[in-house]
Amino acid sequence: MAEEFFDIESRRRYPRLEFGIRVFEEKDWMIRDLNPLGCFIETSNPLPIDTELDLQFQIPLDSQYLPIEAKGVVRRSESDGMAIEFTEMQPIYFAYLEKFVETYY
């Protein structure tokens, strides 16, 4: 899945949507770029590459906030944040993210 997340074809299929979404349980984590395959989390304390993590956040869709839960791994770590590849997610959450990107892109 890592190759798919970073290849050009997947970027065309799933554009990155810039949005400010707070990650639950983490005070200073803010999702800035999001698509069904991963996200960029802005933080002053990024995790090391290859760190596995569980994420929970909500997305605004169809006049409500829908929960998203995903397992992910840090693929890139920078001074202002980290790129996360989603490695495991229930199909319904993936569908929510696809619709979210289609709606707002």
pTM: 0.78
Look at residue 48 in the predicted model and tell me its pLDDT: 97
Residues 6+ apart with CB under 8 A from 27: none
Sign of CA dihedral 96, 57, 72, 84: positive
Tens-digit pLDDT profile for residues 30-59 = 998 899 999 999 999 999 999 999 999 999
Domain spans, the chain: 2-104
**CATH 2.30.30.100 is the classification of domain 2-104:** no
